[in-house]
Amino acid sequence: MVGRYPDFDVFDAVETWDHATRKVIEDRMALAGRPLRFFTPEEEPTLRAFCDTVMAQDDEPRVPVAEFVDDKLAAGRLDGYQYADMPDDRETWRLVLAGLDEAARDRFGAEGFAAADPTGREEVVDALAAGKLSGGSWERLNVTRAWSVVMHAVLTGFYSHPWAWNEIGFGGPAYPRGFMRLGPVSTLEPFESPGATQEDPVRIVAEGEV
């Protein structure tokens, strides 16, 4: 309930959802605080620090991205494809987390990625995004593809959650309600709200104002 749409709450439309749709969304809400099933206790701090760093979630409440990734991998809900030069996504995640810890130790002498300060974590993430990490666990991965694999999961988790929908003003599931407006994107549905501000977020990001 912050940002450009401070008064918007996607749950105002809950009565328009059928039982199956409501259950999917309630299950996503229930992920927060759930014990991890796929990642080990040793991997968990690195996983959480990575998800928080790449999504700039510095405080509570947080979208439970780490829990989403863990739930997906524990259930074996993979993406239906695998790069020819990459291991299974589950192994990719374990190698990436190990590699992040190794990079933090090599660069800053930290006990692991989660123990590095925010600036250090961002430096390691920037190097991963640029495909510039090497040695250790990274030798077993195509680093550029590894970044793509983990960020696909992270972004899917973040933007599938109702709190993220509230932040961007997304009206949520339209089943069985459907959509009425078939005109320009700027034409709002009755259940949508205009932003509290009118700046162009695409321009702001492109010009480096955030």
DSSP 128-166: HHTT---SGGGGGS-HHHHHHHHHHHHHHHHHTSHHHHH
176: cis peptide before it, omega within 30°?
A: yes
Where helices occur in 39-188 by DSSP H, the ranges are 44-54, 65-74, 89-108, 118-129, 143-159, 162-168
**Distance, CA of 98 to CA of 42 (rounded, Å):** 10
Q: What is the pLDDT of residues 172-203, one digit of tens each?
A: 887 777 777 766 666 777 777 777 777 776 77
Could you tell me the end-to-end alpha-carbon distance of the chain, in angstroms, rounded to an integer?
19
Instruction: Give the residue from 163, 129, 155, 153 showing the smallest Cα distance to 32.
Output: 163
**CA geometry: angle 103, 105, 107, nearest 5 deg:** 65
**Distance, CA of 198 to CA of 152 (rounded, Å):** 29
Q: In whole angstroms, how far apart are CA 22 and each of 9, 64, 166?
A: 15, 18, 16
**CA geometry: angle 113, 53, 166, nearest 5 deg:** 150
> What pLDDT was estimated at residue 154?
98
> What pLDDT was estimated at residue 210?
55
What parts of the chain have a pLDDT lower than 70? Answer: 1-2, 182-186, 201, 209-210
In the predicted model, what is the mean pLDDT of the chain? 90
> What pLDDT was estimated at residue 36?
97
Q: Is the pTM of the predicted complex or chain greater than 0.85? A: yes
Burial class, 174, CB count within 10 angstroms (exposed 0-12 / middle 13-18 / buried 19+): middle
